[in-house]
C-alpha cells in the first residue's frame, strides 16, 4: 500500500511539514488504498508562499506563453485517461464506464475548451479614453469536493492558470489520489515552479488555513452550502474574492404533451449516475397529477435496472457512495422520507442484497413526496429520486422554485418554445431542454443558496480576472 509523505510545492514533491496522515479508502471494499499527508497550516503557508513568489512572473506572461504548458497539460490528461479512470474507480467507487466517459473524459473536454477560449480572449479593450486590461487576480485557493474529483480540479485550476493566476489546490480528503495524479501531469507539462501547488489534508485544518491565508487573493470553493458559508465569511473578513459552487435540489419538470417515458427514464439515469452524488442532479421529478401514476410506474421499472455492484466491473451501472458517513446520511434521509409519508417505489434504507461490505445504498425512488417534505427540500447526495405531482404550470413553477437552491433543472414539453418559456421563469443557473446535452462552454453555477460566480467557458475564465483601466 503506497504511503505518500510529500506535498507538491514550488515545482517539486517535498516532504510534508506535518507528520499526520490520512487513509484513502476503497468504498467498494472498505480497505485502505493508500495514505496521504494530512497537511497543516505550515504546509499551506509554504504552498501559498510558493504561489505568491511565482504570481508576478506568471501574471506577466502572454496568453501564448501560457498556452504552451496548458497544451502539454491537456495532452497529459489525454494520455492518462485510463489511469485517471481507474484511480477514480478505486477512491470514489464510481463504475468504470462512467469513470472513463465522465470522470476522465470531462476534464479533458474542459481543458480542451480553455485552449480555444484562451487563444481567442481579448485581454484588453478600448472604451472612451481608457484602455481596460483584464489582469489576473493573483493567488487562487482552490478547494474541491470528491464527487467529480478531477473535473472540479480542472474547472478551477485550468482557467486560473490560463488567466495568469497561480494556484494552491486543497482537494477533498476522500479523493486525494487523482489530485496527486493531476499534480504529476502539471509537473510534466513544465509550468514554472510555484505556479501550481497541492496540499492534501482535512477541510477544517488545511482547507480553513488556506481559505483564511492573508496572501490568498481569491478562494474558489466547490462543496456543501454549510462549508461554503464558512469559507465566504472567512474570505469576507480578508476582503478576498470568493467563488462558491454549492449544493442543489434541482427540478425536472415534465409538462403535459412531453414524451413522458423518455423524460422519466432520462431522469432516473441522471439521478443514479455517480450514485446520485452529482450537485446538478434532477433529484425532484415534477409531473402533472393526471400522469402521476404512469410516471411512477415508469420510474420503478427504470430503477430496477440499477443493481449495485463492483465498480470495477464494466457491467455495473451503480457503485457504492463515497464513504460510510455518506451511506448513513443517505439511508437516514430515506428513513426520514418514509416517516414523513413518502411511498417507497424502489430501493429503501437497507443494505442491497449481498452487499454488506462496501458503502452501498439501494437506488431509491420515492413517490407521494410533497413540497414541504425534507425529501423535496434537502440535498440528499445519494441515489434517491423524489417524485412530486403538480396541478398546472403555475403550480409546477412554484414547486420548482420553492427551495433554497437554484443550480440546475430540466424542462420537457411538446415543443421547444413552451419548454424555453417555462425554463426562463425558473430561478436556477442552467436548464436542459428536452434532454439537451451538457455543454462545457456554457457557464455553470448556482442562483440563491447554490452559490456565487460561474465555472466553465468564458465566464469561468473571467472569475480569475480583474479589470484595470488606464486613461490616455
Catalytic residues: 245, 279
Angle, CA of 161, 198 and 325, to the nearest 5°: 120
Residue nearest to ligand NAD (CB): 203
Task: Give whichever of 7 and 418 is closer to ligand NAD, judged by the CB atom.
Answer: 7
Min CB(306)–ligand NAD separation in Å = 21
Written as nine digits, the cell of 471 is 486613461
Residue among 389 and 460 whose Cβ is closer to ligand NAD: 460
> What does residue 80 show for φ and ψ, rounded to 5 degrees?
-100, 15
Shortest distance (Å) from residue 298 CB to ligand NAD = 26
Give the shortest CB-171-to-ligand NAD separation in angstroms. Answer: 6
Measure CA of the first residue to CA of the last residue in the chain; give whole Å: 62
Minimum CB separation from ligand NAD for residue 135, in Å?
26
Which three cell numbers, joined as nine digits, stand for 125? 479593450
* Adjacency order of strands within the sheet including 139-143: 12-15, 6-9, 196-198, 166-170, 139-143, 218-222, 241-245, 451-452
Nearest approach in angstroms of CB 347 to ligand NAD is 20
DSSP track, 422-446: HHHTS-SS--EETTPPP-TTS-B--
The position carrying cell 442543489 is 248
Binding site for ligand NAD (CB under 6 A): 143-147, 152, 170-173, 203-204, 207-208, 211, 222-224, 227, 230-231, 245-248, 279, 379, 381, 407, 446, 451
Residue located via cell numbers 402521476: 292
Please say whether the beta carbons of 250 and 284 come within 8 A: yes
In the complex with ligand NAD, which residue's Cβ is closer, 171 or 440? 171
Residue 441 has φ and ψ, to the nearest 5°, of: -90, -15
Query: Smallest distance, Å, CB 375 to ligand NAD?
Result: 16
How far apart are CB 39 and ligand NAD at their closest, in Å?
A: 11
Do 132 and 472 form a contact (C-beta atoms < 8 A)? no
Phi, psi of 412 (to 5 degrees): -120, 130
Where would I find the H helices in 121-224? 149-163, 176-189, 208-211
Q: Which is nearer to ligand NAD, 58 or 148 (CB)?
A: 148
3-state secondary structure of 14: strand
Taking the C-alpha atoms of residue 161 and residue 387, their distance in angstroms, rounded to an integer, is 42
* Closer CB to ligand NAD, 143 or 334, in the complex: 143
Q: Which is nearer to ligand NAD, 11 or 39 (CB)?
A: 39
Q: Which is nearer to ligand NAD, 151 or 288 (CB)?
A: 151
CB of 51 to ligand NAD, least distance (A): 17
**Phi and psi of 432, rounded to 5°?**
-95, 125
Toward ligand NAD, which CB reaches closer, 123 or 438?
438
The span from the CA of 358 to the CA of 171, in Å, is: 23
Residue 246 and residue 279: Cα distance in Å, rounded?
Answer: 7
Cell of 265: 427514464
Distance CA(362)–CA(343), nearest Å, equals 15
In order of 15, 162, 259, 271, 362, the CA distances from 323 in angstroms are: 28, 34, 37, 18, 15
CB 393 within 8 A of CB 370: no
Amino acid at each position: 500500500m503506497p504511503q505518500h509523505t510529500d506535498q507538491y510545492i514550488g515545482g517539486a514533491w517535498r516532504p510534508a511539514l506535518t507528520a499526520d496522515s490520512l487513509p484513502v479508502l476503497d468504498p467498494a471494499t472498505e480497505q485502505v488504498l493508500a495514505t496521504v499527508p494530512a497537511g497543516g497550516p505550515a504546509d499551506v503557508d509554504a504552498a501559498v508562499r510558493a504561489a505568491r513568489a511565482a504570481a508576478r512572473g506568471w501574471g506577466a506572461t502572454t496568453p501564448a506563453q501560457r498556452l504552451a504548458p496548458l497544451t502539454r497539460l491537456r495532452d497529459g490528461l489525454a494520455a492518462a485517461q485510463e489511469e485517471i479512470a481507474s484511480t477514480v474507480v478505486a477512491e470514489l467507487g464510481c463504475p468504470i464506464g462512467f469513470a472513463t466517459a465522465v470522470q476522465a473524459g470531462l476534464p479533458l473536454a474542459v481543458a480542451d475548451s480553455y485552449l480555444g477560449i484562451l487563444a481567442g480572449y481579448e485581454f484588453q479593450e478600448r472604451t472612451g479614453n481608457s484602455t481596460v486590461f483584464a489582469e489576473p487576480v493573483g493567488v487562487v485557493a482552490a478547494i474541491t469536493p470528491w464527487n467529480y474529483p478531477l473535473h472540479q480540479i480542472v474547472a478551477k485550476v485550468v482557467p486560473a492558470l490560463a488567466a495568469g493566476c497561480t494556484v494552491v489546490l486543497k482537494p477533498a480528503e476522500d479523493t486525494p489520489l487523482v489530485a496527486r495524479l493531476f499534480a504529476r501531469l502539471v509537473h510534466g507539462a513544465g509550468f514554472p515552479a510555484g505556479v501550481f501547488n497541492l496540499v492534501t489534508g482535512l477541510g477544517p485544518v488545511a482547507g480553513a488555513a488556506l481559505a483564511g491565508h492573508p496572501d490568498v487573493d481569491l478562494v474558489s470553493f466547490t462543496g456543501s452550502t454549510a462549508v461554503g458559508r464558512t469559507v465566504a465569511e472567512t474570505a469576507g473578513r480578508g476582503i478576498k474574492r470568493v467563488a462558491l459552487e454549492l449544493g442543489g435540489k434541482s427540478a425536472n419538470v415534465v409538462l403535459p404533451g412531453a414524451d413522458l417515458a423518455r423524460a422519466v427514464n432520462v431522469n432516473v439515469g441522471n439521478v443514479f449516475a455517480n450514485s446520485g452524488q452529482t450537485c446538478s442532479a434532477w433529484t425532484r421529478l415534477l409531473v402533472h397529477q393526471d400522469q402521476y401514476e404512469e410516471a411512477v410506474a415508469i420510474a420503478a421499472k427504470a430503477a430496477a435496472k440499477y443493481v449495485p455492484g463492483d465498480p470495477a466491473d464494466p457491467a455495473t451501472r451503480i457503485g457504492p457512495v463515497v464513504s460510510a458517513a455518506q451511506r448513513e446520511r443517505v439511508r437516514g434521509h430515506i428513513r426520514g422520507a418514509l416517516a414523513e409519508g413518502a411511498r417507497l417505489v424502489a430501493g429503501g434504507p437497507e443494505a442491497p442484497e449481498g452487499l454488506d461490505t462496501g458503502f452501498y445504498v439501494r437506488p431509491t425512488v420515492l413517490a407521494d413526496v410533497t413540497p414541504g417534505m425534507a425529501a423535496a427540500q434537502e440535498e440528499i447526495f445519494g441515489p434517491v429520486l423524489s417524485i412530486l405531482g403538480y396541478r398546472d404550470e403555475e403550480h409546477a413553477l412554484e414547486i420548482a422554485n420553492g427551495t433554497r437552491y437554484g443550480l440546475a433543472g430540466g424542462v420537457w414539453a411538446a415543443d421547444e418554445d413552451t419548454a424555453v418559456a417555462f425554463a426562463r421563469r425558473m430561478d436556477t443557473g442552467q436548464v436542459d431542454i428536452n434532454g439537451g446535452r451538457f455543454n462545457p462552454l456554457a457557464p455553470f453555477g448556482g442562483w440563491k443558496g447554490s452559490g456565487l460566480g460561474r465555472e466553465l467557458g468564458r465566464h469561468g475564465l473571467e472569475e480569475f480576472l480583474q479589470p484595470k483601466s488606464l486613461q490616455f
